[in-house]
Amino acid sequence: MGSETLKGKVLTIVKKVLGQINKHKKLVGVAFVVFVAVALVGGKKFYHYAESSEFCGSCHEMDVHYDSFRASKHHNEHVHACHTCHIGPGLKGFLHAKLSDGTHDSVEHFKKSYLTSKDSGLFIDIAEDSISIVHNNCVDCHINEEFTKDKTHVEKVVLSKKRGEGGELADLTCMDCHVGLVHPHMKADIFKAYAEQKIAPYGTFTQEECFACHRHATPEVVKEWTNSAHAVKGVTCLECHGEDHGVIVERKGEVLPSKCGECHETMFHDFSESRHFNGRIVAKFDGFVSSTKNLTMSKDCQECHMLGLNKSWDAGPGGSCNSCHPKHLFSREQAAKTKVCENCHIGGPDHARLDMSLKTVHGKIYPGGDVESVTKFRCQSCHSDPYNHHNFNRNINLDGF
């Protein structure tokens, strides 16, 4: 009975409103036109305001982001507002930013995980599903030579992978290394301070922390890694150096060949049987064997003989892979160049030099790099069996030279 009475009252009110509208059609029409015009003009102005950095900074918990952006090098004529970095292309990108990111920030607001005071150290961080959007916007700008000194670095980063905790591969993003570049980040500030003061940190670190710190400490090393085959396959700092930075410092960053051998088994086995690793026996007397491997106490000798050196912390047979393979880039092409062999065998001490006179085999082959301008030669062409590329014990005899 009560519901029927309420329904009747609602219908009565609706009839009265419709009656008034019908009675004052012209007035209602004019009011509607004015409302639509105001809505269009005001909506357009609000839309443009909503696209500005000032709108993003209007909420107090966004102060730290807004202020840091305006103080950064990215606040320039090319980056007009927050949306340049934080919104993806098209309508889909716009809706994602407004709905997904907006919802995320609102939730963070109600959780009170935003900056409550200048000293609290708490502020809203970017949502996980928006990281790729920012990364893609970084690439879109910096792939242009006008905005970056080294376009190839950006191209290589796009191909680089990092290995997750479960072993799965994920894309490397610009923010993995350049954390805190625009907005403040406590870890980024600490990393920069360590690098500037050349202080070696102790403790365990994640691969992202390695990238972020060494971007300041050894930027060329990071670039070499991003240009390497290791980067494409997701082999990061931790898998070669481990996560304990104290141990890394103690070993001066050196990696055991046995660690390389975990992946490169055939090469490691070949190398362990070679004279480069085992050295040459130079004398035997009274049961004592003297070889080039155990006569490397002098630093002058170690420069060449490090191929077979044993370190105090070696768990395995010792040796060195990076004597021939450039560290962090580990280019197969670079390691195969004759110049690598030349470092010890031509530019080294007298006992290591090759006879390069024109009457000798090496004198005829090496200067021009070819014989009768037909066949290209490298050291491996003669001194390595076709399927044994890391054991150079092969003895050869070229008749006719």
Residue 370: what are its φ and ψ, rounded to 5°?
Answer: -155, 165
pLDDT value for 293:
67
Could you give the CA distance from residue 333 to residue 339 in angstroms, rounded to a whole number? Answer: 11
Residue 149 identity: K
The domain spans of the chain are 28-116+124-142, 149-253, 259-383
Residue 204: beta bridge partners? 244
Written as one string, the DSSP assignment of 355-390 is ---TTSHHHHHTTTSEETTTEE--HHHHHSBTTBTT
pLDDT value for 360:
75
DSSP single-letter state for residue 101: I
104, two tokens: 């995320």
Could you give the CA distance from residue 273 to residue 161 in angstroms, rounded to a whole number? Answer: 34
pLDDT one-digit tens code per residue, 12-68: 776 676 666 666 666 666 676 676 766 666 656 655 666 778 878 777 777 888 888
Residue 147: what are its φ and ψ, rounded to 5°?
Answer: -110, 0
The reply to whether CATH 3.30.460.10 applies to domain 28-116+124-142 is: no
150, two tokens: 């080294």
Place of tokens 């035997």: 284
Place of tokens 């639509």: 36
Which parts of the chain register pLDDT below 70? 1-4, 6-8, 10, 14-15, 17-30, 32-33, 35, 37-50, 112-123, 291-300, 302-303, 306, 308-312, 314-318, 347-353, 366-377, 385-388, 394-401
Residue 140: what are its φ and ψ, rounded to 5°?
Answer: -60, -35
For the chain, the helix, strand and coil percentages under 3-state DSSP, each to the nearest 5: 55, 5, 40
Residue 388: beta bridge partners? 385
pLDDT one-digit tens code per residue, 194-220: 888 888 888 999 888 899 899 999 999
pLDDT value for 41:
65
pLDDT value for 400:
43
pLDDT value for 401:
44
Closest CA to 313 of 249, 382, 365: 249
